[in-house]
Amino acid sequence: MSGIDVDLSVLDTIASGLDSGAAGLEGLAGGVPSGVDAGPMSAVIASMLSQVVDSAGNVSVALTGAADSVRLARSYYQRADAESSAGMDEIRRAMQP
C-alpha cells in the first residue's frame, strides 16, 4: 500500500457538507427581489443581482459536482482497501472461471 489512510466516514461527512452548501444556495433562489426600484440605477442594480444569482447557481453546481467527486473517491478507496486486504484464497477464487 502507498501509506495513504482515509477514513471513509470523513469522506461521507465532506460530501454531505458540500451537498448542504449547494442546497443552502439553492434555497436562497426565491429570496431575490424581482422588481428593484432604484430610479435611474434600476437597470444596473438588476444586472448586478442577475450576476449574483448566476454566480450562486454556478457555485451550487460546483459544490454538487465536488460532492459527487468525493463520493466517487470514497468508493475507490473502499474498493482499494478491500482488494488489498483480500487473502490469497479469496484471490484464487476470484481468478477461477
User: CB 71: neighbour CB atoms within 10 A?
Assistant: 17
Mean pLDDT calculated for residue range 33-38 = 83
**What are the grid coordinates assigned to 76, written together?**
475507490
CB 28 within 8 A of CB 97: no
In this prediction, residue 2 has a pLDDT band, given cuts at 50, 70 and 90, of low
Q: Which structural domain, as residue segments, surrounds residue 51?
A: 8-28+40-95
- In total, how many domains does the chain have? 1
Threshold 0.85, pTM exceeds = no
> Looking at the domain assignment, is residue 33 inside a domain?
no
Q: What average pLDDT does the segment 28-52 reach?
A: 87
Q: Is residue 35 part of a domain?
A: no
Would you say residue 76 has pLDDT above 90?
yes
Residue 62: per-residue pLDDT: 98
pLDDT above 50 for 1: no
Specify if 3 maps to a domain: no
Q: Does a structural domain hold residue 34?
A: no
